[in-house]
Amino acid sequence: MTCASCVAHVEKSVSKLEGIQTVQVNLLTNSMTVSYDETALNNDIIEKSVENAGYEAHLKSENTSTAANTKKIDHVQLEQDEMKNRWWISLAFLVPLLYLSMGRMFGLPLPAVFLGHENALAFAFTQFLLTLPIAFVNKKYFTGGFKSLFKAAPNMDSLIAIGSSAAIVYGIFAIFRIGYGLGHGDMDTVMQFSYDLYFESGATILTLITLGKYLEARSKSRTSDAISRLVDLAPKTAVVIRDGIEVEIPVEELKIGDVVVVKSGQNVPVDGLILSGNGNLDESALTGESMPVFKEVGQSVMSASMNKTGYFTFRATKVGKDTTLSQIIRLVEEASASKAPISKMADRISSVFVPVVIAIAIVSTIVWLLLGYPFDFALSIGIAVLVISCPCALGLATPVAIMVGTGKGAEHGMLIKSAESLETAHKINTVVLDKTGTLTEGKPRVTDIIAGGNYTENELLQIACSLEKASEHPLAEAILVEAEKRKILFQNVTDFETIPGRGIKARIEKAQYFAGNLQLMNELSIHSEDFLSLSEQMAEQGKTPLLIAKENAVIGLIAVADVLKPSSKMAVSELQKMGMEVVMLTGDHRKTAQYIQSLLGISSVISEVLPQDKEKEISRLQSEGKKVAMVGDGINDAPALMRADLGIAIGAGTDIAIESADVVLMRNDLMDVVSTLQLSKSVIRNIKQNLFWAFFYNVIGIPLAAGVFYIFLGWKLNPMFAAAAMSFSSVTVVLNALRLLRFKPKFNTKPET
């Protein structure tokens, strides 16, 4: 495929098939995504339909392994190399052709064999011979262009083929007229047609178009840089332990359950869980996180992350197309191949663009002939119209920006599933944030230790962790983690007993201890006004207070809370500066929610919401005319993520949250929500610039080529300059899209220190 018209013809041909549900063709990737009723259609019928439209189609392998993607990258390079060779060969013959054809106009010396009317035939025929190699190396324009034309589905190649063929055929006609004039002594005819040769125009059109295509191919190859870097990170071999021996095998042969060895400096080949050892892993290619992450026994590792230091073995849990790397590549490819709603206008115009241009070229030629102008003048007008019109720019305006944008997002750990999601993101005006795991860490931590009497903080913590060691309550884990951090030793505990819903009791060195909530203390008639008031105060701040009592007196209080992420306040501030309404959605008590609201400066809070009611709250906001983005990470967020205009799963979340979301953020950082919205605005702005340039170029260029300004201003466009302008238009669109490679999130708020 060469232009947007090709896309329109393929989509039209396939969509006519009975059983087709959706069909999307991508010019940039030369790919097609089809949804269809398998009871009515099969792949062979779809491929045949594409062939009937004048193109070829082959079923893409489902394997998204490194090898498959490497093959794709090589195909891009192959196209680039072919265009480069065609350009250099064309240029080698074009230079002497232009010297010969235009040398006399600039007073340049020519061999005597080409001078004078008596040598006019040699002069013309030599130009023809120099044009032939250029036409031959660029024969694809003719074979593809005329094939599409005969199938009533003309494309950009058709315009080039008709324009350059008209120039060359007219030149051949001129040779015959020169020969006739020489044979009959008609020197006026010889002189007229020796100046009316159009071989240089046809050859220059082909050469400049090929140069444009080469520059376009070079630029387009950079759009897949993000995927290429990911592919390069994935090792082609892995070291596994088989029968107690380390064996190196191709990554494709790895199976779930294999024990894989990763040494310092090596990349992790597939996803898995560490069995022994540890390492500092650089996951920047997957998550955008620049700092290495320490991983040890029991923790998960992702494919394509690099082990900076250490040595470990892990059990493979996901291989082949199921690995994190393969899923990221698949998501980026699918997003790149999808279409944004903004592109539909360009598609509709492209479907009729080429036939209209051909009609304008024919009408322009006839009109100028009827006005009494010479045939060569009218012919040059028609050729200029054909070669200046650029359906390429229209077709590339959206997909190049989408591919660069989604690739850049992947580079920063932001996986955008479709072009539609990317476009929707720039319209968002309300961001709804789940609290647990989104604004907060999602893991309870000890926030306050208040010791009474003669006890120190560490002594109180020692009693608490000794009591909680045998408990399965979530608070127990937070206390044990804090004790481990402070290197607190456990004391011997006897007569341990759980009091459901209220706390625990046990003996330490024959003394009776209790750890629990306010209800437990009231039941035991253990009172301490200072600690009770503190307990209520902390509960209002969203903390869970654990009262510690010895015999019949409270000796201290330990508060546990799901603490806010360091970036939460900054992210909320940034979203508000972007003009977003920020809403916190939580099941917490109203007072707790209001306390967090005051800490973060959130404009609106919806509290005491049951998990199943989150989706209803999103619907309510949408009914008020708001474009809503929902940010969450849990299973109970899935319905709300699906209901929202834009669902964002943060911190890689749960599988079901990821499936429900439109955007998946690999890092557990709320600032990536800001980055996603900024990226969307940059991409859509770039697409609008591209579409404006493509439309503006054609709206101005076609009337100029048709001679509309000639009568009033004397402006006439030479076909050679028209070809250069057409190539420049396509290259400009691609280069403008490549500016997105420089995208970096911009934050106005300085992080707190």
Pair 508, 472: CB distance under 8 Å: no
Question: What is the DSSP-derived secondary structure letter of residue 332?
Answer: H
Residue found by looking up tokens 């698949």 in the block: 330
Report the DSSP beta bridge partners of residue 313: 261, 276
All residues at 6 or more sequence positions from 181 whose CB lies less than 8 Å from its CB, including other chains = 120, 187, 188, 189, 190, 193
Residue 37, helix vs strand vs coil: coil
Q: Token pair of 156, please?
A: 């950009």
Encode pLDDT of 431-443 as tens digits: 999 887 788 877 7
**Topology adopted by domain 418-440+565-672:** Rossmann fold (3.40.50)
More confident residue, 339 or 647: 647
Q: Does residue 183 or residue 658 have the better pLDDT?
A: 183
Buried/exposed 633-658: b ≥16 CB within 10 Å, e otherwise:
bbebbbbbbebbbbbbbbbbbbeebb
Could you tell me which CATH class the domain 442-564 is placed in?
alpha beta
pLDDT at 285: 64
Contact call for residues 209 and 388 (beta carbons, < 8 A): no
Written as one string, the DSSP assignment of 136-195 is: HHTHHHHHHHHHHHHTT---HHHHHHHHHHHHHHHHHHHHHHHHHHHHTT-HHHHHHHHS
Dig out the tokens for 369 from the structure. 């002939």
**β-bridge pairing 553-564 and 503-508:** unpaired
pLDDT for the residue numbered 367: 92
The domain segmentation of the chain, as residue ranges, is 4-55, 236-324, 418-440+565-672, 442-564
Mean pLDDT of 362-387: 85
Residues found in the chain:
753
Average confidence score pLDDT of the chain: 81
Q: Is residue 67 very low, low, confident or very high in pLDDT (cuts 50, 70, 90)?
A: very low
Q: How far apart are alpha carbons 287 and 665 in whole angstroms? A: 8
H/E element, 629: strand 628-632
The β-bridge relationship of strands 604-606 and 581-585 is parallel
Residue 576: predicted pLDDT: 92
Q: What is the dotted CATH code of the domain comprising 4-55?
A: 3.30.70.100
Catalytic residues: 434
The pTM score is 0.69
* Residue 656, CA atoms < 13 Å, CB-side half-sphere: 7
Exposed / middle / buried, residue 742 (Cβ in 10 Å: 0-12, 13-18, 19+): exposed
Tell the CATH topology of 236-324: 2.70.150
Q: Could you tell me if 447 and 543 are in contact, meaning their C-beta atoms sit under 8 angstroms apart?
A: yes
3-state helix, strand and coil shares in percent for the chain, rounded to the nearest 5: 55, 20, 25
**Pair 405, 679: CB distance under 8 Å:** yes
The string of pLDDT tens digits covering residues 270-324 is 999 999 999 888 877 666 565 678 888 988 888 888 888 889 999 999 888 888 7
**Range with the poorest average pLDDT among 167-176, 392-401, 546-555:** 392-401
